[in-house]
């Protein structure tokens, strides 16, 4: 057996969990995704520290937006931990990590697909204002496309290295509507119910 193959076949054992050790390229992807999540979380925290939503057109809904913003910060921090666990497993069971990775991958993919569809609808003049599709919004979507690709690589690699089946992947992918629904539907509905967000 060659040294390269030996490195590939090595397993890291934590209790009764067996996961093939990732190579350096995969570790680099994990680090990049952790930094991506941390960077976006830092931006969200900066919004709060600078009272970014306290003035302008969002001022009337400042409290509601702040609640959603902090909720998203928590999701991004979870993303940091998940990216690290994808390439450096510790005490968390591979199935749990795999399920969450596929949930993250599916969530980002659906979000990007929705954003691209929305941009197409605007540019085609079907609905919305085409002028809102500017360089900043394009860069934003590209950033999330990068994240979707990165977590896709981590999810697929982890499933292969941990020997996870299709069932885990499907269960994880089903997390996409749960996450997006909680941010875009459930949380705003709760905020409206308690009077922190107008119905308009």
DSSP string spanning 80-148? Answer: HHHHHHHHS--SS-HHHHHHHHHHHHHHHHHHHHHHHHHHHHHHTTSSS-GGG--HHHHHHHHHHHHHH
Predicted confidence at residue 181, as pLDDT, reads 93
Residue spans of the domains in the chain: they are 22-193
Altogether, the residues listed in the chain come to a count of: 200
d(CA 150, CA 174) in angstroms, rounded, equals 19
Computed over every residue of the chain, the mean pLDDT equals 87
Higher pLDDT, 195 or 2: 195
For residue 199, the 8-state DSSP code is -
Q: Confidence class of residue 89 from pLDDT cuts 50, 70 and 90?
A: low
Higher pLDDT, 18 or 60: 60
Q: With a cut of 80, say whether residue 1 has pLDDT above it.
A: no
Q: With a cut of 80, say whether residue 84 has pLDDT above it.
A: yes
Query: pLDDT digits over 49-62, tens only?
Result: 988 888 777 777 88
Predicted confidence at residue 9, as pLDDT, reads 37
Q: With a cut of 60, say whether residue 6 has pLDDT above it.
A: no
Query: pLDDT digits over 100-152, tens only?
Result: 999 999 999 999 999 999 999 988 888 888 888 889 999 999 999 999 999 99
Percent of the chain with pLDDT over 90: 62
- pTM for the whole structure: 0.85
Higher pLDDT, 42 or 127: 42
Predicted confidence at residue 168, as pLDDT, reads 94
Q: With a cut of 80, say whether residue 77 has pLDDT above it.
A: yes
Q: With a cut of 60, say whether residue 175 has pLDDT above it.
A: yes
Q: What angle do CA 153, 159, 164 make, to 5 degrees?
A: 165
Q: With a cut of 50, say whether residue 3 has pLDDT above it.
A: no
d(CA 64, CA 70) in angstroms, rounded, equals 10
Q: With a cut of 90, say whether residue 176 has pLDDT above it.
A: yes
Q: With a cut of 90, say whether residue 169 has pLDDT above it.
A: yes
Per-residue burial over 15-28, b = 16 or more CB atoms within 10 Å of its CB, e = otherwise: eebebbbbeeebee
């Amino acid at each position: 057996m060659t040294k390269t193959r030996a490195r590939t076949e090595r397993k890291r054992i934590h209790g009764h969990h067996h996961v093939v050790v990732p190579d350096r390229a995969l570790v680099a992807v994990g680090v990049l995704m952790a930094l991506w999540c941390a960077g976006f979380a830092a931006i969200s925290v900066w919004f709060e520290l600078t009272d970014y939503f306290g003035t302008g057109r969002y001022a009337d809904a400042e409290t509601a937006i702040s609640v959603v913003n902090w909720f998203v910060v928590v999701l991004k921090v979870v993303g940091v931990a998940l990216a690290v666990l994808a390439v450096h497993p510790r005490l968390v069971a591979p199935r749990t990590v795999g399920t969450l990775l596929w949930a993250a991958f599916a969530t980002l993919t659906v979000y990007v697909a929705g954003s691209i569809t929305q941009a197409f609808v605007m540019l085609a003049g079907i609905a919305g204002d085409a002028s809102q599709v500017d360089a900043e919004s394009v860069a934003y979507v590209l950033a999330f496309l990068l994240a979707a690709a990165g977590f896709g690589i981590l999810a697929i690699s982890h499933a292969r290295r941990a020997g996870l089946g299709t069932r885990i992947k499907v269960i994880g992918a089903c997390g996409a509507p749960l996450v997006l629904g909680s941010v875009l539907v459930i949380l705003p509905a709760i905020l409206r119910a308690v009077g922190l967000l107008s119905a308009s």
